[in-house]
Structure 1
Amino acid sequence: MNVSLSQKFIAEFFGTFVLVFMGTGAAVLAGAHVGFLGIAFAFGLSVLVMVYAIGHISGCHINPAITISMLAFGKISGKDAVSYIIAQVLGAIVASALLYFIAQGKADYSLAANGLGANGVGEGSPDHYNLVSGLVAEIVLTMIFLVVVHGSTSKNTSNIGFAGVAIGLSLTLIHIVGIPVTGVSVNPARSIGPALFVGGAALSNLWVFIVGPIIGGLIGGAIWKLYDNK
């Protein structure tokens, strides 16, 4: 199948839009009803369904940490990687803008009080974990996620048709454990979108959710390479 770069761009934009809108939407619009567990499944299910919706077009990275890890280990070209990352960030921003617009339809909604699903450390952490804990958590959680992503999409696996299930469920698991710490990013685009609108500490601590996932993604790719280098 010959897929153009513009088609891949659209796929990554849409996939990231769905992930951020549904995942942070679960927190902002439905958090009081579904709790942390429901939010975790919203993120995981978003990735799972997008793998099967756009995976054959772009590979369904919808995450700069995945794209950078794939680039580092020779699974994507530099030209595609730049296009993917731009599409992912734009998709996240548009999703956050639309979510903000919808949330304002509730009379007692306040951006300052209710937020927009932004990630945080310290006072911005759901359970007030400090910056060091948040950074380490983001590195470790992304590392685990990228081992799953690389492993389940490897040409050496015999179950590649189930990659979406493995990736989606692993993201759900990561959120179940990590939401109290940072709200869970493991995806710079997912963090950039809400932070641009929320501002303040969400924006000043944004580097944690860019640097942490990128480092974790590279470590995860290196671990995968150690045992799947055929």
Structure 2
Amino acid sequence: MDGASSGEASGAGLILINPDGQEFTYAIKMNFKSTNNEAEYEAFLAGLRIAKKLGVKFLEARVDSMLIASQVSGTYEEKNDTMASYLSQAKDLMQHFTSCKVVHIKRSENRPADALSKLASTSFDHMGRDVRIKVLNAPSVPQHQVLVIQTGTSSCMEPIMSYLSSGTLPEDKAEARKIRHKALWYQVHDGILFRKSFLVPLLRCVDAEESNYVI
């Protein structure tokens, strides 16, 4: 995680990585004034809250803030009331985990979270409220190849839907564990599967036939 403070606003960048290597990325904008240390703590607290909500039991928090790492470890005592309050909240949240380790890393090792925090702390009043990043996986100009889309195959949503609807899991233990992790980000409502997010509304999942219709 990382926090950034500017004259316009403050932001937090968070990247949570589960044991399977799946990443969950967040950019959080704070519409209030704060110092850089306060922004760092807000990012730290936000990461702890999200991890708690996801049901994480064992957490390693990688931070480039020496202040946070030193305060949490007890090697540095903060006399500032505001910082003391932040530390108290952090310790309260950390109690919810079976294990919660805070590791100090170099800023150069934290560039992805740093970039997210700076993006979130920038004012985009002249633009739309939401800025979405689109990844292009192919050139925009015609190529000498064609993309073949096969329909009628088993949907990747079916195992998640089965688990959330009836608790059914694959016999393979590794695959079952993956389904459990993925299912944390989904919910079923009236027989329809939706993907959850902290930053946007629920996203409806569609199968191959429905996606062709939408397009």
TM norm structure 2 = 0.23
Higher relative contact order (CA 8 A, sep 6+): 1
Structure whose CA Rg is larger: 2
By percentage of residues, which structure has more strand?
A: 2
What's the TM-score, normalizing by structure 1?
0.22
Q: Which has the higher helix share?
A: 1
